Every structure is written in C-alpha cells, then in structure tokens.
C-alpha cells in the first residue's frame, strides 16, 4: 500500500485505533515485541468476504486489537474489549468473580504454554 493511502487511512481516526481509541504512531506499522504505538491497516469488510483493498474500506487499528480481531466483526471486537475491561477491573478489585477469572486466566495461560512447549518466542507459564 502506498504511503499516501496509508496517510489517508491514518487520518480517518486522527491517528487512533478505531477499536480501543489508543493513539498510534504513523511510523510504527506491524508487529514488534513492543506493541506500544504500533498499528496496522484493518479492512472493515474483510478481504475474504469481498472487502476492497482501497482506503475506503480501511481504518487504522493498533496491532494488538487487529491481531485479536481475526474473523470477528467490529461490534464483536468492541464487545470482547468491553468484557475484558470489566474482567480486568474485577480481578484488580479482588472480588470473588475476579479471583475466579484470574484462576481461569492462569489455567488458560498454562495450557497455552504447554501447547507451545518447545516453540520459541513465547513467555513461560505463570505459576502465581
């Protein structure tokens, strides 16, 4: 994609992720271990569903949100983020629900780590 098209897409949200609203940095596109400020072009109608490559079908998304999106619609991603924020708050407050969610999170992280055992670039399982 040409830089003029990227700038057009970036300007649509004034440099913010269209999912979470975080500010992104035009010069930081794609994946990196440090995802702060990184962004990607999100195709609003996925290309596999007939969406066009043109800027008219594109919005900036932070890399973290875009990688969570996969096949999901924008509304489904926003719902996931919203539920995630609620869950995070419950965990931080140490409620009964939060403690249960933290336990589930730990179990999933350990299962994922076990599946990826031997693969490089993934963090070790958490034991806390």
In the bound complex, what is the minimum distance in angstroms from residue 84's beta carbon to Zn ion?
A: 11
Q: Which range binds Zn ion by CB under 5 A, 56-64, 68-76, 104-112, 118-126? A: 56-64
Spatial distance between the Cα atoms of 72 and 61, rounded to a whole number of angstroms:
14
Spatial distance between the Cα atoms of 62 and 110, rounded to a whole number of angstroms:
26
Query: How many other C-beta atoms are found inside a 10 Å radius of the C-beta of residue 124?
Result: 9
Using CB under 5 A as the binding rule, the residues of this chain from 58 to 87 that contact Zn ion are 62, 65
Q: Phi and psi for 21 in degrees, rounded to 5?
A: 85, 0
Is 20 a residue that touches Zn ion (CB under 5 A)?
yes
Among 9, 17, 41, 58, binds Zn ion (CB under 5 A): 17
In the complex, the residues that contact Zn ion under the rule CB under 5 A are: 17, 19-20, 22, 62, 65
């Amino acid at each position: 994609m040409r830089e003029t098209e990227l700038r057009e897409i970036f300007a649509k949200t004034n440099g913010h992720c269209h999912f979470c609203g975080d500010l992104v940095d035009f010069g930081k596109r794609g994946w990196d271990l440090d995802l702060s400020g990184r962004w990607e072009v999100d195709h609003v109608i996925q290309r596999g569903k007939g969406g066009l490559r043109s800027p008219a079908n594109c919005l900036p998304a932070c890399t973290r949100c875009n990688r969570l999106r996969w096949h999901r619609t924008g509304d489904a991603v926003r719902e996931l983020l919203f539920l995630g924020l609620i869950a995070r708050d419950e965990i931080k407050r140490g409620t009964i629900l939060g403690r249960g969610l933290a336990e589930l999170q730990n179990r999933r992280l350990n299962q994922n780590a076990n599946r990826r055992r031997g693969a490089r670039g993934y963090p070790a399982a958490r034991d806390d």
